[in-house]
Every structure is written in C-alpha cells, then in structure tokens.
Amino acid sequence: MRCDIGKQNKDNVVEKVVSLAKRKGFVFQSSEIYGGLNGCWDYGPLGVELLKNLKEEWWKAMTYREDVEGLDAAILMHPRVWQASGHVDNFTDPMIDCKQCKSRFRLDTLAEQISDKKKEKILRHFPENLSDELTEEFKGIMNSDESVTDKFTAILENENLSAKLLEVTNCPNCGTQGQFTEPRSFNLMFKTFVGPVESSDNAVYLRPETAQGIFVNFLNVQNSSRQKLPFGVAQIGKAFRNEINTKNFLFRTREFEQMEMQYFVKPSDDEKYYAQWKETRMQWYKDLGMTEDKLRFHDHPADKLAHYAKEATDVEYLFPFGWGEIEGIHNRTDFDLSRHEEFSGKSQKYFDEETKEKFIPFIIETSAGASRSFMAFLVDAYNEEEVNNETRVVLKLHPKLAPIKVAIFPLVNKDGMPEIARDIEKGLRPYMKVFYDSKGAVGRRYRRQDENGTPFCVTVDTQTLSDGTVTVRERDSMEQERIHKDELLNYFIVKLK
C-alpha cells in the first residue's frame, strides 16, 4: 500500500515536469499535431536556452583547457566505420518471446539460461528431422571445440537451424516447449541512402554515437593541433538509435544528443586518467547544482563490460523512476584505434618523441547525454513550496543553466517606471538573456519567472525615480536588495560567473 502511494507521487513528478515543460515552452512532443512521433521531442524557446547553456558549460569545462581540442564530425560516416566499431555486428539484439509466459529472451544469451546438461540433451536429440544439408551444417558446428553453450548459441544464431532448435527448447522461465516466437532481429542503427538510388551499395547509417567521428579523426586532430599525449578531443552532437522501446520522457529517445570527450593516453597511464576523469565529470554535475545525494557511480562488473571496455562506470542520477545513467566513463583501451587501423589499412600509431616508441594509444571516454542531463537538471530543479498557504512552483536551476537570467519589471505600468525599466532591459540585453514584463500584479510576475527558473528579477519602483536604485529579487530566497541601476550589469555578470 505504502509502496503504491510512493510510486504515485514519483510518477506525478515526471508528469508535472512534462506538463510544465510543455506549458512554459521547454519541451514539446515531436510532430504533435500529427499525433506525435514515438520517442522524439522538440525543444521550445526556454528548452533550447537551457540545452544550449548546458552544452556551453560542458564545452567550456571540457575544451577550454590546454589538453583538449574540439571537433564537429559529420553525422553520416563511411559505412566501414560501423563495421570497425562493431556496431554492424554487435549492435543487434535478435530476440524471442515465449508465447506462454510472455518472457522475452535475447537469442545470444538464451543458452546461458539453460543448464549444460539440458543443452547437451537437446543437442543429442536434435539431429532428428533434419534435411541432409542442415545436418551437415549442424555437424560442422558440433565438431568444433567450443563449449556446449557456444555451440548452442551458434546454432541459435544460424539462420537455417535456429527455428528448429527453438522448437525443441524449453522456455527457461516457464518450461513450455515450442512456444517461442520467431527470432526478430533489431539493428539499432538507422539506415539511409546516399544519393537518389536506394540500394544496399549506397547504404549509410545515422551515427549511433559521436565517438567514432573522434576516433577516425585522431591523427588529423593530433597533427593539426600539435598535441602530444595525453590529450583529448571533444564533440557535441546528435546521435540516433532505433530503440525498441522509448521511455520516460527524454530519458530513452531515438534521437538524442551526446557530449563526448575521448582522451588519448599512453597505455600505461590508462588507470590514472580513468580515475581522474571519473572525479572531474562527477564534480561537473555537482558544480552545476545537481543534488549530490541523487548522484552516484555505478561501476560495471568485469563480466558485464562491453566488448571494447576494460573498465566502465556510469554517472547515475536518481530520477523519479529510479537511478538512470546520465554519463558513461569507459576505458576503451586501444580497441577502437586498432580496429580502425585494421579496417582502413591506415596506421593509427602515435610516435612518442621521448621514448622513441610507436604505439596505439589507449582511450578514456567520457560520454555524457545532453538530453538526459537536460532532463536530470530539469527534474532536479523542480520544486513545489508552500508560501503564504499557496503552492509556489519554482525551477531552482543553476543561474548558468537558467534560460532567462534576468526579468525586468516596472512595479506599476506608469509614472515613468516602464521607461526606466526599458532602459535597464536595453542595457543588459546584449550581455544576457533578459525578459521584460509589465503585465498584472508584480507578485504574479515573480511567480511566473519562478516557473521558468529565472534567477533574478529587477523591479523599478518609486524610489528608483528619486535615487536610481532598483530592487533585485533572488529566486530561491525571494529576498530583495537594492542596487543602483547603473551597477546592474556588473552585479549580474559577477552573479552569473
């Protein structure tokens, strides 16, 4: 019972944020007037500012330093890139469902869920009912030196034998036989075509990650920037994955934006820089005001690492629906550059002047989700407070992230106050995103800005007319101080630094 109530409250937060996001212009559903497009979202006037600020903070933190260069690679890349990266082969998940108990299994891990004894038994009886041709294929696999699990998996992944084996395999969950659906294969990459003709000869993919654009430019960047190891290359850009399920607002979408930095190091330095970047990246979220208690590392256990990784951890944020990854930090070893060297035939080695050694660098990857961070910052900022027996909705966004930095009001819309307020607006506008409002009661205007996350409101009142000072109201504390209008620009520049 208590659980259910808790869940309801949690769900409400996401719903409230989605509702607020639409109402105030942060996020709209893609193609909404046509009924929407699954898993795609548009950023509205305030959302695009928040997203831009978020990316800018990342860009400054990650590239305004001696040892990191920026890059913006094309979304479309040579198809061989994705063969080298492993995405063509590994980015697919053939899956089956048990019609009886509705359990779903990945074909490549199904064998692990069945005992060796059982598998041997199934395989022993399997040759029955096979055509001669298939029997040959079957024997070929069985005569290898692989483990029984690998043999079983090999047959499951064999186009001709798979269905036959599934017929005689029991569901690991409910034990029912012969109730598996056909394996469905999903390649999570979006495919399209270069040029006017749609044929497999000119198929290309929308990149499923920005990282490969960095890897293939490793030597270009290194040569042109004269960088020496260790150094990094950073990039912000869209990536696309044809996810089976989209979920949780901006958290799992088919089109999303990444902020990735690949740090090239001597192989012997990998652990040092992996640890260093872990801390640096975690601190970034904290510095931008994300609640510390809702941040943690989730280290990947050694047996669950991706094929390219030696070490991996996620920076996770406690969303209303649970912990979710907002950034991955990986030690990718020399996997990527070695693969590209192999597939392109172009040496990717680095020559170390000091030791006179030639080697392929290791890569420490920091891969942050811009869209996911956006959602995390938004959810984290959402607050409802009781003020004078009323609920105040306020987005406590860090001033650096806030879409609008300063709102400027005349206390009343007469007596020369609007003119002064307009002058103040004009003076600040070239330096920061400002907003002018003269409509309705001033309290209402304050609350409206609270919902937008605007950290400061300037109000021109009667006293301004005589001594030139205005009130500056701070969003979170709702406290005011008087500042001379000519000091405002400096005041805010310091506050927003």
Question: Per CB under 7 A, does 2 bind RNA?
Answer: no
Least separation in angstroms between residue 250's CB and RNA is 8
Which DSSP category does 421 fall into?
H
CA pair distance 216, 252, nearest whole angstrom: 27
Within 8 A by CB and 6+ apart from 41, the residues are: 27, 28, 29, 30, 249, 250, 253
Question: Per CB under 7 A, does 247 bind RNA?
Answer: yes
Q: Which is nearer to RNA, 183 or 230 (CB)?
A: 183
Question: Phi/psi class of residue 277: alpha, beta or left (left: φ > 0; alpha: ψ in -120 to 50)?
Answer: alpha
Least separation in angstroms between residue 351's CB and RNA is 29
Give the footprint of RNA on residues 427-456 (CB under 7 A): 439-444, 446-448, 451
Question: Per CB under 7 A, does 246 bind RNA?
Answer: yes
Give the footprint of RNA on residues 390-429 (CB under 7 A): 390-393, 411-415
Q: 317 exposed, middle or buried (CB, 10 Å; 0-12, 13-18, 19+)?
A: buried
Give the footprint of RNA on residues 39-58 (CB under 7 A): 39-40
Candidates 153, 162, 371, 471; binder of RNA (CB under 7 A) is 471
Question: Per CB under 7 A, does 360 bind RNA?
Answer: no
The pattern of x and - marking residues 309 through 348 that bind RNA according to CB under 7 A reads ------------x---------------------------
437 and 451 Cβ atoms separated by less than 8 Å: no
Least separation in angstroms between residue 304's CB and RNA is 8
Residue 43: Cβ within 10 Å count: 20
Question: Per CB under 7 A, does 484 bind RNA?
Answer: no
Rounded (5°) CA angle 383-384-390: 155
Question: Per CB under 7 A, does 495 bind RNA?
Answer: no
Q: Which is nearer to RNA, 480 or 490 (CB)?
A: 480
Question: Per CB under 7 A, does 244 bind RNA?
Answer: yes
404 and 47 Cβ atoms separated by less than 8 Å: no
Candidates 60, 104, 124, 139; binder of RNA (CB under 7 A) is 104
Q: Which is nearer to RNA, 83 or 109 (CB)?
A: 109
In angstroms, what CA-CA distances link 313 with 261, 278, 331, 332? 15, 8, 9, 12
Question: Per CB under 7 A, does 83 bind RNA?
Answer: no
Cα 136 to chain centroid distance, Å, stands at 46
Q: Which is nearer to RNA, 15 or 67 (CB)?
A: 15
Q: Which is nearer to RNA, 138 or 152 (CB)?
A: 152
Question: Per CB under 7 A, does 307 bind RNA?
Answer: yes
Give the footprint of RNA on residues 203-222 (CB under 7 A): 208-209
Least separation in angstroms between residue 384's CB and RNA is 9
Max CA distance (Å), the chain: 101
| Size of the chain, expressed as the number of residues it contains | 497
Q: Which is nearer to RNA, 250 or 428 (CB)?
A: 250
Candidates 26, 58, 91, 277; binder of RNA (CB under 7 A) is 91
Pairing assessment for the beta strands 456-460 and 406-410 based on DSSP bridges: parallel
Within 8 A by CB and 6+ apart from 3, the residues are: none
Among 124-132, 288-296, 369-377, 477-485, the segment contacting RNA (CB under 7 A): 477-485
281 and 366 Cβ atoms separated by less than 8 Å: yes
What is the dihedral sign for C-alpha 335, 337, 343, 346? Answer: negative
88 and 203 Cβ atoms separated by less than 8 Å: no
Least separation in angstroms between residue 310's CB and RNA is 13
Within 8 A by CB and 6+ apart from 203, the residues are: 79, 191, 192, 193, 194
CA pair distance 314, 293, nearest whole angstrom: 15
Question: Per CB under 7 A, does 9 bind RNA?
Answer: no
Q: Which is nearer to RNA, 355 or 389 (CB)?
A: 389
Question: Per CB under 7 A, does 23 bind RNA?
Answer: yes
Q: Which is nearer to RNA, 350 or 409 (CB)?
A: 409
Place of tokens 């005689």: 168
Q: Phi and psi (nearest 5°) for 67?
A: -105, 15
Least separation in angstroms between residue 66's CB and RNA is 29
Question: Per CB under 7 A, does 11 bind RNA?
Answer: yes
